[in-house]
Amino acid sequence: MNTTIWLIILAVLVIAVIYIYNNLVRAKVRTDEAWSDITVQLRRRADLIPNLVKTVKGYAKHEKSVFENVTKARSQLLNAEGVKETAEAENMFQQTLKSLFAVAEAYPDLKANENFKHLQEELVDTEDKIQAARRFYNNSVRDLNIKVRVFPTNLIAGMLGFSQREFFEVEESEVAKIEKPTDVSFE
């Protein structure tokens, strides 16, 4: 009878470990999927930018530095690896886009251009999708991080190599920069 009890206890422990492992795998896969969604939307937006820059260039030929900054920021965003580097590149990219749209505001003919309007609408739609993808990713990271940290899952997670992930966040200093209006000078 003693052997039967030990076998039952062992079976329960094995089932518990399998259950915990499967939950961790689900959370990790959901987080990976969420990160993939962010990168897809960032690439979509980055692919729109050359067309937008080209359209604006036709109207604002003397704004060379704005176009160079947008191109540089786009390149950094496309080459970023990992959550932290991508978040930093994203912050810089947002700032350069604000500069680009500030230039566009100064040209009424450009604002009336159908191609520009269409690209701007596409960009707004993509920004909304990026925000949704960020929320989904951060929710997935939160769920994974909780699972990795709570007892007894943390014991199994540590043994099986599961670890916490970083949130995709805008730094406080970047938030302050984003809220300030961009200065545009035509000297």
| Structure tokens belonging to residue 169 | 């966040």
The pLDDT tens digits of the residues spanning 79-108 come to 898 898 998 888 888 888 888 888 877 777
In a domain, 11, yes or no: no
Highest mean pLDDT among 50-59, 118-127, 177-186: 118-127
Across 66-105, b (16+ Cβ under 10 Å) vs e yields bbebbeebbebbeebeebeebbbbbbbbbbbbbbbbebbe
Q: Is residue 77 part of a domain?
A: yes
Angle between helices 82-105 and 2-57 (to 10 degrees): 30
* Residue 1 located in a structural domain: no
Residue 10 lies in a domain: no
Q: Establish if 165 belongs to a structural domain.
A: yes
Taking the C-alpha atoms of residue 182 and residue 65, their distance in angstroms, rounded to an integer, is 14
Mean pLDDT for the chain overall:
84
Band (173; pLDDT cuts 50, 70, 90): very low
Is the confidence at residue 183, as pLDDT, over 50?
no
Count of structural domains, the chain: 1
User: What stretches of the chain adopt beta strand conformation (E)?
Assistant: none
Q: What is the CATH number of the domain that holds 98?
A: 1.20.1440.20
3-class secondary-structure state, position 184: coil
- Rounded Cα–Cα distance for residues 147 and 157 (Å): 8
DSSP letters for 67-93: HHHHHHHHHHHHH--HHHHHHHHHHHH
Q: What is the mean pLDDT of residues 136-158?
A: 94
Record the tokens describing residue 173, joined without a space. 């200093």
Percent of the chain residues past pLDDT 90, beyond the cut: 41
The structure tokens listed for 6 are 């030990």
130-146 pLDDT, tens digit each: 999 999 999 999 999 99
**79 domain residue, yes or no:** yes
**The two three-digit tokens of residue 124, written as one number:** 């707004």
Segments forming the whole domain that contains residue 155: 18-179
Residue 3 lies in a domain: no
